[in-house]
Amino acid sequence: MKPIPFRLPSIPPRQRGAGAVSLLLFIGAATGIAAYAVDSSRTTASAAQLKHATDAAAMAVTMAHARDDTIDTQSLAEKYVHANLGMDGAQFEQQLDIALETVTRDDADGFRVSATFRASSLLGNDADVTVSSAAVARNKSLEVALAIPNTLSENAANLAALRRLGKRFAENLIGNRDNTWLALVPYSQAVSVYDARQANRIRNWAAPGALNPVELTSLFRTGYAGLADRRIPDRRANLLCMYRGLDRGENYFWDEAPAGQFKVYYRHDLPENGSPGAPPISWVGPNPDFGQATGVNDTRWMTADRGCPNAALLPLTNDLDEIDTRLDQMSTRFNVNYAIAMGWSAMALAPEFRGPGGWGLENDLPRDFDEEGGDTVKAIVLLVNSSDQRWFDSDAYNAWVGEKIDGDRDLGSRNDPLITERFANLCRSFRERRLRFFLIVTGSDEAEDEDGQIASASEFRRVAGPGLQRCAERGSDLTYLSGYDFVASEGRIESRLDAIIDELRLQSNFARLVE
């Protein structure tokens, strides 16, 4: 069979020209689409690469300016953009315009870096393309006071747990940072502010007449020069517990300068109730607890004060060895006053204690409060064991000598409304100064004494809780754990302290892209 020849269909002469034109139009359109696709792909790739460069520049400029506001931000932005162009560097180098402007988001300041380049088109219609990135940062210094109980409840095992917690907290908080400091505030019924480097602190901080209180007139007649005399038991034991502002609403005047403002605690008690470190002294005279120089004469004793911690307040420092040493000095003392611990924790952070008349620190510490755009975040972390604590904040350490704690109760009696009010007033003053407050309480109602069950943990939450709640910015700021002591709750306390550090870092130091 012969093959059938295949032939193209014949096109009339008039249609042949039209077909050629259609083919040319098709080829032109396809070429245009291809060129557009190539232009779009190249422009997109270039813009993506440039976006990486502006991201890096925005972060670098913002963080550098947060640390040093005198830096040349424009030059730094240009440097970082060009350094991060990668393979497209040569293409952009001669046609890149970099602009800088400030931005603010969520009370944090930063910069927007914009880079504009001319996108060349195969089709000849060149256009400017602008890519922008913005970042904000916060680089505030951080000052934290950690208040640690040294009471009768803190036996050797609990003190060991507290030392571990304190050392880990210090290491994680400070690390290699040069703008973070920690103060330690060991507390019992009071807080010691003894410092061998400032031997005259007792004289410099004492109010007029405080070193020779009238109720000890009979003692001073025996040859003692006053409470600053080195023969006084607390002076021999290197204890210095001072007080001021005990009346309602006064809150220990924690944000006022210390010079000439304080009275001095001493312990008029039987020898067996004294602390190690110094022998008691005795004299014949009236009872000094009455606050008078007259009365029935009898043998009186002054002992080293068990309510004054052996480990003194350690002012702000970033020296981890110094912090470890002070933690190792902690010992079991006597009863407890939480509000006094809070007051001294705040004084450890108060700028009124700056300089040689205060804590005697360098680096302008403590720095100004974080008010109206300040550059320092300050926080108190208070550790509490509420087990077995039937009484707190209601003894003679919170009352003037010879006076009642308030107007209608006897000295040393329980006055729950006053305690709640004291916490509330302290918290209100903290919030006014933007002083953060974190509470970690471990406690149990399982303990018993001769009167039966001691519902101490519940009592602490009932009495102290409503006042302390005013300190809280967030619900998690006050943490209550079910555990008899710090040994039982050590792991959970450690986790909570880590979370507090994370929150404070976020509040004081961060940098992030916002565009």
> Which stretch of 136-145, 315-324, 349-358 has the lowest confidence by average pLDDT?
136-145
CA atoms within 13 A on the CB side of 216: 24
Q: Evaluate if residue 496 carries a pLDDT over 50.
A: yes
More confident: 1 or 315: 315
306 burial type by CB count under 10 A (0-12 exposed, 13-18 middle, 19+ buried): buried
- pLDDT per position as a tens digit, 2-24: 554 545 455 555 555 555 555 45
pLDDT of residue 349: 98
More confident: 154 or 374: 154
- CA-wise closest residue to 66 among 467, 515, 513, 508: 508
Q: How far is Cα 218 from Cα 230, in angstroms, rounded to an integer?
A: 18
Cα angle 40-60-49, degrees, rounded to a multiple of 5 = 15
Q: How far is Cα 5 from Cα 334, in angstroms, rounded to an integer?
A: 118
Q: Evaluate if residue 28 carries a pLDDT over 60.
A: no
- CA-wise closest residue to 254 among 369, 377, 374: 369
Residue that has been written with the tokens 């963080």 in this structure: 63
CA distances from 218 to 27, 75, 292 (A): 117, 75, 10
Q: What is the DSSP string of 285-340?
A: ES-GGGSSS-S--EEEEEE--TTS-SSPPEEEE--HHHHHHHHHT--------HHH
User: What is the percent of the chain where pLDDT is above 70?
Assistant: 84
Q: How far is Cα 44 from Cα 213, in angstroms, rounded to an integer?
A: 82
Q: Evaluate if residue 346 carries a pLDDT over 50.
A: yes
The four Cα atoms 18, 24, 28, 31 give a dihedral, to 10 degrees, of 140
**Which are the contacts of 308, defined by CB distance < 8 A and separation ≥ 6?**
188, 189, 190, 191, 192, 234, 239, 240, 241, 265, 267, 275, 333
- pLDDT per position as a tens digit, 238-266: 999 999 999 988 999 999 999 999 999 99
Residue that has been written with the tokens 């290197």 in this structure: 238
pLDDT of residue 46: 67
Return mean pLDDT, the chain.
87
pTM of the model: 0.82
pLDDT of residue 452: 66
Where residue 407 falls among pLDDT bands split at 50, 70, 90? very low
pLDDT of residue 207: 98
Tokens of 216: 């000890």
More confident: 5 or 291: 291
pLDDT of residue 278: 97
Domain limits, the chain: 38-137, 141-513
19 burial type by CB count under 10 A (0-12 exposed, 13-18 middle, 19+ buried): exposed
- The superfamily (CATH) of domain 141-513 is von Willebrand factor, type A domain (3.40.50.410)
Q: For 268, phi and psi rounded to 5 degrees?
A: -85, 105
> Which stretch of 10-24, 191-205, 256-270, 417-431 has the lowest confidence by average pLDDT?
10-24
Where residue 414 falls among pLDDT bands split at 50, 70, 90? low
Collapsing DSSP to helix, strand or coil, 166 comes out as helix
Are 46 and 120 in contact by the 8 Å Cβ rule? The answer is no
Are 325 and 196 in contact by the 8 Å Cβ rule? The answer is no
Q: How far is Cα 91 from Cα 87, in angstroms, rounded to an integer?
A: 8
Collapsing DSSP to helix, strand or coil, 381 comes out as strand
- CA-wise closest residue to 135 among 197, 64, 187: 64
Say which DSSP state 187 is in.
E
Where residue 370 falls among pLDDT bands split at 50, 70, 90? confident
Mean pLDDT confidence for 147-164: 98
More confident: 329 or 406: 329
- Rg of the chain, C-alpha, whole Å: 36
What is the distance in angstroms between the CA of the first residue and the CA of the last residue of the chain?
Answer: 77
Cα angle 464-347-311, degrees, rounded to a multiple of 5 = 85
Q: How far is Cα 136 from Cα 108, in angstroms, rounded to an integer?
A: 6
Mean pLDDT confidence for 28-49: 54
Mean pLDDT confidence for 52-59: 88
Q: For 375, phi and psi rounded to 5 degrees?
A: -120, 25
To which H or E segment does residue 55 belong?
A: helix 13-67
- CA-wise closest residue to 417 among 466, 353, 484, 360: 466
- Residue 161 amino acid letter: A
Are 318 and 155 in contact by the 8 Å Cβ rule? The answer is no
Where residue 1 falls among pLDDT bands split at 50, 70, 90? very low
pLDDT of residue 128: 80
- pLDDT per position as a tens digit, 112-152: 999 887 765 544 556 788 889 999 887 889 999 999 999 99
